[in-house]
Structure 1
Amino acid sequence: MRVPVVQHSTRRWRARRRRALWTGGEVLVTVGVVLMLLVVHQLWWTNREAKRGAERKVEALEREWGTGADGDGGGASSGSGTSDTPSPSAEAPGGSSGSSGSGRRQQSATTRASQPSWSQAYAILTIPRLSLRVPVAEGVSKQNVLNKGYVGHYKGTQQPGQAGNFALAGHRNTHGEPFRYINRLKRGDTVEVETKAAVYTYVVDKTLPQTSARDSGVIRSVPRSTVRPSYGYSAPGYYITLTTCTPEYTSKYRLAVWGKLRSMRPR
């Protein structure tokens, strides 16, 4: 009977193959664990930390305004060169003329406020339908504003209560995701913006479900999409714009919600 002969080189090759397979398996498991931890960090930890930080900032602003301390004041000009005084052609809040008592009080409140510093939280955005109450900071920097769970004010757009467009951006997913559900807003829903000077109430009017990320028309003084021109406005007014990414977990397109100023209440 012939006994098969296994050469030493064959045994060494098999041993190396087993080690390579084992090592490859360990690497795949390690990569899988790391990826899972990254997903947990992005979808849970960043939300948890950003929401906590945003809630603390809202509480700090409320305390500050309650004591009348100087600091994160709001409702100021963004430095874009626009006037606090509504132009004669602008639509005044509530359908009345800019010379009404409400208009005069509005101009006085916005003129009194100080200019917010870059990345500084200076207002509070409240959306009752979404149970949302979040700080508004100057600028849309990811690191200094949006990733903190704040909503950011676009440079060059107007401030709360001013004639023109008060335009805001916020994350839809991760880092507090304050604008995750703004697609659920309906016409007639209210959006409040509180500053140290006043409380401004806007009413949701229109929604642009999807447009290009480069569609700058949605945040112009008279907002109108340059990609989908049937969406937007043609006359000056007192507008608010909320923008975020769409679809969820992507940044390919933008979703915009527009509203009009209904009333202003001085503090």
Structure 2
Amino acid sequence: MTALRPERESGAPYEGAAESGPPYGQQPYGGTGAWHEGQEWSGYQYPGDGSGGQTAEQSYGQTQQAQQQPYDATAVLPSYDDPAPASSYGPPAPRDGSRPMTPPVDDETVALRAADVGAARRAAERDSTTASAPAPGGRAARRKAARRHGRHGNGPQTAEKAAETASEAPRSRMEARRAARAQKPSGTVLVSRLVGELFITTGVVMLLFVTYQLWWSNVRAHQEAGSAAKHLQQDWANGRREPGEFAPGQGFAILHIPKLDVVAPIAEGTSKTKVLDKGMVGHYGEGTLKTAMPDAKTGNFGLAGHRNTHGEPFRYINRLKPGDPIVVETQDKYFVYKMTSILPTTSPSNTSVLDAIPKGSGFTAPGRYITLTTCTPEFTSTYRMIVWGKMVEERPRSKGKPDALIS
């Protein structure tokens, strides 16, 4: 209990109260509104004219009636800053006009309330300061706290502060050096990058090489072979005569395989660079592998060509069947052969297939034969494939093309 103040003990009027009102303190025994010994308590009695004040039930009824009155929007509510007269607070005045007892104003209670408001305000300020203050500890702790607040949805300000904290520069020179060293790639990383670049470069080079071999070499060979065949036909049409002996790489005839849609010039020799890689078919006409020409009375006319890449004129000679025509066109005549047999695989050193009576062909007597040789399997040069044919017609150009080239 707080001790009573002197002015309350003496019965003096409370400071700020009306002088005409009853004094604040102990009421005189037997005064108006006082409780007498032996009197039955019937609720709070408002001071009145002596005939008895209002009871609590009557006061409650009047309050309910006042609350049911329509709301007056023009009424001005009292402000907390402007003190109102004591009569504006507390219970309503009695009907007889006498002054009601004014409830005392407790300075101590007001002070406690003000203290509570100030404490609440200070607590709110402390909460806001704590929320905006950085987390204790180092940068790692602050970043962790910022990420934790961001995950729990504490608002965009927390995420912004976390981003600012993450982008802060090192606080010391040592930390700056460590950060710079951490950003530099290590030796292992550099070596792995170099190896990866070498592999990528090697793969690109190999891809370009394969593209050249399988596609571009054929394009170039077809262009060169077509140009050679065109010039040869133009020379024949102009009546230009060629000698019976031809220089290596010189074209002198055109090979037709109608079933395979092959039209390729025939040049002297089997040089890879001068003849075969240019898309032409080479004639075995040099050294120990020299074979007969088509106009010879007997002999074996031997030819060689690529099966893959560089025009690949002999790629599908394995599809030929006995009786399929093979035509050799020269300046004066057409020589028509019929396919007779095939040797799917043989050694590259088996030159007996080019003999006048080739071994393995099935021929037993001298005659006018043709031999086609190429590499096998495809895209390799491990073995050789051999196809033989026998001449069935020798037709002068003056009689026109043979039936094999017309149909």
Which bin holds the TM-score, normalised by the shorter protein?
A: 0.7 to 0.9
Q: Which amino acid aligns with 2:271?
A: S
Q: 1:217 aligns with which of 325, 338, 352?
A: 352
Shift of 1:158: 0.3
Residue 215 of structure 2 aligns with which residue?
44
Residue 225 of structure 2 aligns with which residue?
54
Superposed, 1:113-124 pairs within 5 Å as 114-124=244-254
Shift of 1:66: 1.0
Residue 189 of structure 2 aligns with which residue?
18
Q: Which has the higher helix share?
A: 2
Superposed, 1:120-131 pairs within 5 Å as 120-131=250-261
Q: Which has the higher strand share?
A: 1
Q: Which amino acid aligns with 1:258?
A: W
Residue 336 of structure 2: SS of its match in structure 1? strand
- Computing the radius of gyration over CA atoms, which structure comes out larger, 1 or 2? 2
Provide Cα deviations, 1:60-99, integer angstroms capped at 9, x if missing partner.
Answer: 11111111123xx3xxxxxxxxxxxxxxxxxxxxxxxxxx
Q: Which runs of 5+ in 2 are unaligned?
A: 1-177, 398-407
C-alpha RMSD of matched pairs (Å)? 2.2
In the alignment, is the contact (CA less than 8 A) between 1:239 and 1:261 conserved in 2? yes
Shift of 1:232: 3.6
Shift of 1:159: 0.4
TM-score by length of 2: 0.51
Residue 318 of structure 2 aligns with which residue?
183
Residue 89 of structure 1 aligns with which residue?
none
Q: Is 1:249 aligned with 2:383?
A: no
Shift of 1:266: 1.8
Q: Which amino acid aligns with 1:146?
A: L
Residue 54 of structure 1: SS of its match in structure 2? helix
Percent identical: 47
Provide Cα deviations, 1:27-49, integer angstroms capped at 9, x if missing partner.
Answer: 10000000000000111111000
Q: More relative contact order in 1 or in 2 (CA 8 Å, sep 6+)?
A: 1
Provide Cα deviations, 1:5-43, integer angstroms capped at 9, x if missing partner.
Answer: xxx9x9799700000001110110000000000000111
In the alignment, is the contact (CA less than 8 A) between 1:205 and 1:258 conserved in 2? yes
Q: Which runs of 5+ in 1 are unaligned?
A: 1-7, 74-112, 226-230
Aligned residues between the structures: 217
How far apart, CA to CA, are the structure 2 residues paired with 1:56 and 1:139?
19
Provide Cα deviations, 1:150-200, integer angstroms capped at 9, x if missing partner.
Answer: 000002100013211000000000111010011111100001101112110
Q: Is 1:27 aligned with 2:198?
A: yes
TM-score by length of 1: 0.77
How far apart, CA to CA, are the structure 2 residues paired with 1:193 and 1:51?
19
